[in-house]
Structure 1
């Protein structure tokens, strides 16, 4: 792990000549100068997308939040690609879930209406549990476990209170995906 406590730190990424950049590192936990941090952020926006307000409400679900990729916008709630034409059939039932995943020694609390697609994009070691709910429930969980939140991210330390909450959600469920499939089936049945 990089020692962020060192004084006189400088950027280690290579410059145009192949030698370390050497520019000062400003209060960063990583040995990167502001210019290289900006380059990493630009790359991440291209690879992972940037969450922002959609140009207009999603035609599939009405959400105003989307993810912008170089190829275009995707609704953050239902993952409909903005600009695609909706067919005349009813869309699949929407089942919002709050997901709890583990990656190494961290737990992420996030939300999606399409967990298979969303979790396929996230590095994780294990799906711990699903909870019915949308961004409101996600926000409540972020507030509930704020004491163990890592910076301002959706990642948390695996504190006993959080792990107990996850155990309660997973009680009696061998496979979180089976629970999600049941919820999707119930939603489809209710819709008729």
Structure 2
């Protein structure tokens, strides 16, 4: 603050808020924020899901948007390889009082084909893991299908997969992003 109690910007006599981090008035703090945001970007919701990983979180720069998960430039089309990045998952869906344990390499497309009330969890793995889970919970399997009655052991397994505050779709987005990064695309 200047000796007059105004903003530290020459000629500005607007008094800074008492809890301001710098001796600047609100308009000058916003100008400084905009200047810094040019370099570091602003985290926000993407205008549409990322084409590479499906994330909805992005970083907005004056030059455009980047996905906050996989850093894909919004508006760029995934090349043939990145667009085909496959991450196999075992999914756990709830429909009424039953749980379906299935597997897919494209959960959005597969789950769009199914009737369910809630996505309970994703577990990274393929058909072999799915078959192990079917065997693990076989005592509660419904007529040799992929559907199981809810029971304590299955609920505990799903709770371990989720962890506190874990979003299954967020996990899947991270796995796809990691697969793209490992492939160097």
TM-score range, shorter chain: 0.5 to 0.7
Alpha-carbon RMSD: 1.2
Count how many residue pairs are aligned between Structure 1 and Structure 2: 105
Unaligned stretches of 5+ in structure 1? Answer: 1-87
Alpha-carbon distance between aligned partners in 2 of 1:173 and 1:139, rounded to the nearest angstrom: 27
Taking structure 1 as the reference length, the TM-score comes to 0.53
Matched, 1:139 2:139: no
Q: What is the CA–CA distance in structure 2 between the aligned matches of 1:174 and 1:148, rounded to whole Å?
A: 26
TM superposition shift of 1:113 = 0.2
Deviation at 1:189, TM superposition (A): 0.4
| Unaligned runs of at least 5 residues, structure 2 | 1-78
Q: What is aligned with 2:32? A: none
Residue of structure 2 aligned with 1:189, choices 173, 181, 184: 181
Q: Does 1:117 align with 2:109?
A: yes
**Distance in 2, Cα, partners of 1:174 & 1:161:** 19
Q: TM-score, normalised by structure 2?
A: 0.55
| TM-superposed deviation, 1:93 | 1.5
Residue 151 of structure 1 is matched in structure 2 by: 143
Name the structure 1 match of 2:95: 103
Poorly superposed stretches of 4+, deviation over 4 Å: none
Please point out which of 172, 176, 179 is paired with 2:164. 172
Tell me, yes or no, if structure 1 residue 89 matches structure 2 residue 80: yes
Structure showing greater Rg: 2
Q: SS of the residue aligned with 2:129? A: helix
Deviation at 1:175, TM superposition (A): 1.5
